[in-house]
Amino acid sequence: MTLAHRATILWEFTIDNVALHHWQDVSPTDWVADQTPNCTIRAADNTAGLDVEAACYKYLTDGGS
């Protein structure tokens, strides 16, 4: 006697290949002479969401070169 068991597992997932978008309220909007400016931005990612705990920034003093 042979017993056969069969199982089917289905799942859905989304591959998020769209960069962060909806950049808004960037501040300051122009060059500032202050060496410790308060910088803010609002952004959204409607697909995967944002991991604010992993957020980082880059500060350049060479004009970005």
Q: Is residue 45 in some structural domain? A: yes
For residue 14, being part of any structural domain is answered with no
The answer to the question of residue 17 being in a domain is no
| Res. 59: pLDDT tops 80 | no
pLDDT of 27 reads 92
- For residue 7, tell me if it sits in a domain: no
Q: Mind listing the pLDDT tens digit for each residue in 5-47?
A: 888 888 888 788 877 777 888 899 898 898 888 888 888 777 7
Q: For residue 38, what are the domain limits? A: 22-54
Distance separating alpha carbons of residues 6 and 50, to the nearest angstrom: 39
Q: Count structural domains, the chain.
A: 1
Q: What is the pLDDT of residue 53?
A: 84
Pairwise CA distance, residues 47 & 43, whole Å: 13
Residue 3 domain flag:
no
In a domain, 15, yes or no: no
Residue 65 covered by a domain: no
Position 39 in a domain: yes
Strand intervals (E) in the chain? 21-27, 40-44
Among candidates 12, 19, 10, which has minimal Cα distance to 47? Answer: 19
Give mean pLDDT, residues 43-64: 78
Q: Kindly report the pTM of this predicted structure.
A: 0.46
